[in-house]
Amino acid sequence: MSDAIGYGLEDRAIKGLPALLSRDLESKIKTLDRHFIEYPDREDDEINIYGEGFIDDEMVYIIGENKS
């Protein structure tokens, strides 16, 4: 149940964040999705919300963790 609720919250955040960030920070988000980091020992971690974009002409990263 926790996973289902967590994924639902992440999906809502991924859908709504670009508009909020654009409005509040005047950003242009290129990508926003879940992302996995793979380590040399083949273990991995999930970043619940990961994005890349620009504020003015500077590259920015959006990183979020969701807990339910």
pLDDT at 68: 67
pLDDT at position 20 = 92
Instruction: Provide the number of structural domains found in the chain.
Output: 1
Its domain, for residue 19, covers 2-64
Beta-carbon neighbour count of residue 53 at 10 Å?
19
- In the prediction, which pLDDT does 6 show? 62
Instruction: Give how far Cα 63 sits from Cα of 4, 41, 49, Å.
Output: 21, 23, 6
pTM for the predicted model, two decimal places: 0.73
Written as tens digits, the pLDDT of the chain (68 aa) is: 555 556 778 888 889 999 999 999 989 998 899 999 999 998 999 999 999 999 999 999 999 887 76
